[in-house]
Structure 1
């Protein structure tokens, strides 16, 4: 007769954890340290750039000159954060790091709206119309267009990234073609006025519009902050998100509405800056090594502020305002976009 002994093993709380668990915990802490270090460096650099922009070359009446510069800084912060936040979230819901909301034709639509106003009325109408009314009309038109298009593209499961890209290219080409046709038919003097409005400018922003834009961006920021945790799961893909209990369609629809408002506000406020979002969103991922939106969005916003304020500082002190800031940003962003395409093609 064989006797079977049952041995009960009691875990000793002092027993060290296994090597894989320890290594995993150390890697997690290393990632968090990298995130905090990257954010701290970005905050310091952003503050240095802001102080430099507000003080370098400040002569004459300090109170008057500083007030003008602070208004420019506030505008660049609002626009930069709106572009950064919308770009990071858009790349999450589309699952692609080389796409930004600009692919949907927002910039081309802004140009078309400005061109049609000059075409049907005159350049004088564009410059003398109440800027708040013009701003409201542009934002409403772009938000309605984006919301309708996004819901059509993502409302059904069969829609995918390729349809999104195709629709964006088609609408962008259509808007650009209509703008080109209308611009050839307008008065040359009106065309000069139109050209001045088509480049992003932070020099003459209406204080009322800046306040309204700030309120809208803050509201969208609060809304987005409530979705950050679910967006982290959405970034894993639709199947994984649904498997983890996240309502993928609801999160994506909310995100797309936020993106439409943020992009519309930033574009209507200062004009289009095509490649800024692509540049700052990808740099934020590379510098922080993070996937969490509560880290990516602030990092992208800080990088956007550094790029815009630093670029404006160089533009004013080195180039003496002989070119537009959007030209420099789009050039750098275009080069970075090509580099991303080349790197992705080699994988």
Structure 2
């Protein structure tokens, strides 16, 4: 089996020997709380309550995004047995951009910006999740179709969506394209407070099956044949997990915008400090995501004094990790 298609549980966890997985979770959790405290209260000058409320909104947004992306990536990689693929890389970000581009092209930028935020959030989430459900159901029905076909189809659809979006962008008015450009990059500062309850509710609901299936997911790390032989309903759980991952990444993308390589970064760091069990890997991925987002935003705003979007830096670092994993797999 190719190294790129091996399960995360079979990887060498380089940092696991330094601390136990449980201790790593305590360290990551404490680090997250310290960074949240710094982000909320550091450098406030006047208007304390107003500043804290604004920052608290950003913190909640980043925590929700870290949870959605970290969980969805680990779950997706468990089912696909592939450490370099994520739902975002499979075309969900491209679908998000296509939806925004088509909305501006058909209804104008003014209609898009004036539409109620909850309505746009729900529509984006439903459309992206619906695409995933249709795709997964089609792939998993019939003979001769497999997860490998799913991966190929996802990449093809991602390319198709980007091509259609690019065509529509060339045909639209330049002034509307400028407005549309703001949606191409994730922003953790433009989230509306009334969107957070919808995102939180969706994430809580889809997390319930994950908790119930946590032991079966550990068995699935051993491979499809082993999991089936041990009594795991592989097809049912695989389909359910893929739909859950689609809902989570759809919520994250609809909330702040696309962060393509963020999942690759946090998931592969989580594998290094966990034992391969999902009760450690999933929370580790979430906590590492919280540290990356809140710590990165704090450094950009208060230490470096830069106005660069955090998502650009995250995608740059995550893209390097993605390329490194590809090259390492080819060398092996």
TM-score relative to the length of structure 2 = 0.92
Matched, 1:109 2:95: yes
Matched, 1:341 2:330: no
Change (3 A) 1:39 1:309: same
- The alignment partner of 1:218 has SS state of helix
Match of 1:325 in 2: 310
Matched, 1:72 2:58: yes
Distance 2:310 2:137 in 1: 33
Change (3 A) 1:255 1:217: same
Aligned mate of 1:236, from 215, 222, 235: 222
Aligned mate of 2:190, from 185, 204, 208: 204
Compute the displacement of 1:346 (Å): 2.4
Aligned mate of 1:192, from 178, 185, 198: 178
Unaligned runs of 5+ in 2: 1-15
Compute the displacement of 1:165 (Å): 2.5
Matched, 1:306 2:323: no
* Contact 2:191–2:255 (8 Å) recurs in 1: yes
Instruction: Provide the aligned C-alpha RMSD in A.
Output: 1.6
Matching of residues 1-347 of structure 1 within 5 Å: 34-156=20-142, 158-288=144-274, 290-318=275-303, 320=305, 322-347=307-332
Compute the displacement of 1:107 (Å): 0.2
- The alignment partner of 2:281 has SS state of helix
Distance 1:250 1:162 in 2: 17
* Contact 2:71–2:286 (8 Å) recurs in 1: yes
- The alignment partner of 1:166 has SS state of helix
Count of matched residue positions in the alignment of Structure 1 and Structure 2: 317
* Contact 1:280–1:300 (8 Å) recurs in 2: yes
Change (3 A) 1:43 1:270: same
Structure 1, 177-186 or 157-166: larger mean CA deviation: 157-166
* Contact 2:93–2:258 (8 Å) recurs in 1: yes
Compute the displacement of 1:185 (Å): 1.1
Between the two structures, name the one with larger relative contact order (CA 8 Å, sep ≥ 6).
Answer: 2
Change (3 A) 1:190 1:236: same
TM-score relative to the length of structure 1 = 0.88
Find the structure with the greater CA-based Rg.
Answer: 1
Compute the displacement of 1:113 (Å): 0.5
Compute the displacement of 1:31 (Å): 7.4
* Contact 2:94–2:158 (8 Å) recurs in 1: yes
Structure 1, 312-321 or 79-88: larger mean CA deviation: 312-321
